[in-house]
Amino acid sequence: MPFDDITGLGTSAERHLASLLLHVRPDRQAMVRAAIATLPGTELHIEQAGKMVVTVEGPHEGWIADRMTALHLLDGVFSAVMVFHHIDRGHIDRAEVEAAEGS
């Protein structure tokens, strides 16, 4: 299954979506927020003092696990816990994939 490890985009119709709960040091929350914005396939949805809900989307479980580990290793993150994982085996529009891959 060809895909890009950085963006997680590929030709497979299978996509994995996970939501994570991060517990963070409140004094490091702004730095964690900025780091999340730089990680492809991640999106911060909601936060309050010491807590963040992040979604991760990628081509397979290993890619999700890699992002989860990267989030857990950020300075100021106490824990990153998966609370939901969904596998979408639906059809991906080829034009969308080619545009994202720059073809």
pTM listed for this prediction: 0.74
pLDDT tens-place string over residues 20-47? 999 999 999 999 999 999 999 999 999 9
**Fold exhibited by the domain 15-91:** Alpha-Beta Plaits (3.30.70)
Q: Tell me the CA distances in angstroms from 52 to 1, 66, 86, one per residue in order.
A: 32, 18, 19
Q: How far apart are CA 15 and CA 102, in angstroms?
A: 19
Q: Would you place residue 91 in the very low, low, confident or very high pLDDT band (cuts 50, 70, 90)?
A: low
Mean pLDDT of the chain: 85
- Pairing of β 51-58 and β 15-24: antiparallel
Average pLDDT rounded to a whole number, residues 67-95: 88
pLDDT tens-place string over residues 60-69? 999 999 999 9
Name the phi and psi angles at 35, rounded to 5: -65, -40
Domain locations in the chain as residue ranges: 15-91
Q: How far apart are CA 52 and CA 23, in angstroms?
A: 7
